[in-house]
């Protein structure tokens, strides 16, 4: 090839390279950005109790009272999130999650959500005992036992151990822990105020357990829903919790709107 031909080839090559760069700039992307890979898909497993199962938010699908309105199902609809296993089950305690749900996570899991602890405290049982006669000895005994359990710190200790176990089984997972909304309008009755105070104490233990696990090296985030339902508690005009105490399926469980509040809170954590 002649020197003239070589020179012409270099000129043509330079023009072609410049054209590619100009096209990329014109469409608002540099060549490196055009080649960027999309964000990875979250391989998601949900663990927990009735709040995570979606009890009361829709038609029960199985014996665990799971529903299609549960926040894990709502998260599954978010782009690049794939709910592999919805293991949450109504009535589950921390030890139940450890015994029957923990095996659902593994090294391939990249996202875990967890809502549990309410059944360990037994708020529903306290209300069932106390509602007929808040001044009864049975009610006073149930409340005292719950308060003693909170003072002992056992719930927080068990939850902390569960979180570390999840992190060990799923070392590549981000674990998002949620707690419970304060259910009743303040001042509605002495009993409901007691339940509200117990809920706040439980939430504090959940938060401490999550922060403790994070401090121990687990990839744990905690988001509190304690005051997320203010204005929509039981006793308000449009509660985001079931308000009919004679309907055990829905009472004190998030409605479909309440489940969406959980979803949004978790998405805020994931975006940070």
pLDDT tens for 144-176 read 888 899 999 999 999 999 999 999 999 999 999
- 50 among known catalytic residues: yes
Beta-carbon contacts of 262 under 8 Å, excluding residues fewer than 6 positions away, are: 51, 71, 115, 178, 225, 254
| Position 38 confidence tier, pLDDT thresholds 50, 70, 90 | low
Alpha carbon distances (Å) from 23 to 86, 162, 239: 46, 53, 54
* Percent of the chain residues past pLDDT 90, beyond the cut: 72
Checking if the pLDDT of 31 tops 70, the result is no
At 69 the pLDDT is 98
Checking if the pLDDT of 18 tops 50, the result is no
CATH fold of 39-271 reads Rossmann fold (3.40.50)
Name the packing angle between helices 190-215 and 123-130 (round to 10°): 170
Q: Render pLDDT for 95-147 as a digit per residue (tens, 0 to 9).
A: 999 999 999 999 999 999 999 999 999 887 888 888 777 888 888 888 888 88
At 129 the pLDDT is 85
Beta bridge partners of 222: 177
- 32 among known catalytic residues: no
Residue 168 tokens read as: 């060990």
At 42 the pLDDT is 92
At 162 the pLDDT is 98
| Burial letters 77-99, b for 16+ CB under 10 A, else e | eeeebebbbbbbbbebbbebbbe
Task: Determine contact, residues 48/116, Cβ cutoff 8 Å.
Answer: yes
Q: Of the listed 50, 67, 90, 224, which one is catalytic?
A: 50
Checking if the pLDDT of 181 tops 70, the result is yes
Q: Of the listed 46, 67, 232, 253, which one is catalytic?
A: 253
pTM: 0.84
At 23 the pLDDT is 40
Distance between alpha carbon 32 and the CA centroid of its chain, in Å? 35
- Map out the domains of the chain as residue ranges: 1-36, 39-271
Strands 42-48 and 111-115: parallel
Average pLDDT in the 239-257 region?
93
């Amino acid at each position: 090839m002649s020197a003239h031909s070589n020179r012409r080839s270099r000129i043509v090559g330079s023009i072609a390279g410049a054209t590619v760069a100009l096209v990329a700039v014109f469409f608002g992307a540099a060549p490196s950005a055009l080649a960027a890979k999309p964000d990875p898909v979250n391989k998601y497993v949900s663990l927990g109790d009735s709040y995570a199962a979606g009890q009361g938010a829709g038609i029960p699908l199985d014996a665990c009272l799971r529903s299609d309105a549960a926040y894990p199902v709502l998260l599954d609809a978010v782009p690049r999130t794939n709910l592999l296993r919805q293991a949450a089950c109504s009535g589950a305690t921390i030890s139940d999650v450890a015994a029957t749900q923990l095996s659902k996570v593994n090294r391939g899991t990249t996202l875990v959500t967890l809502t549990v602890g309410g059944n360990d405290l037994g708020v529903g049982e306290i209300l069932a005992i106390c509602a007929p006669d808040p001044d009864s000895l049975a009610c006073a005994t149930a409340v005292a036992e719950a308060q003693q359990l909170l003072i002992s710190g056992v719930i927080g200790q068990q939850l902390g151990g569960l979180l570390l176990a999840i992190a060990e089984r799923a070392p590549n997972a981000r674990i998002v822990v949620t707690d419970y909304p304060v259910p009743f309008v303040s001042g509605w009755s002495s009993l409901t105020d007691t339940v509200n105070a117990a809920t706040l104490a439980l939430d504090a233990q959940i938060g401490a357990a999550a922060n403790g696990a994070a401090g121990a090296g687990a990839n744990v985030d905690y988001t509190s829903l304690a005051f997320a339902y203010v204005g929509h508690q039981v006793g308000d005009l449009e509660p985001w919790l079931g308000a009919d105490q004679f309907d055990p399926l829905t009472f004190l469980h998030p409605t479909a709107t309440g489940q969406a509040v959980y979803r949004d809170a978790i998405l805020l954590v994931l975006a940070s």
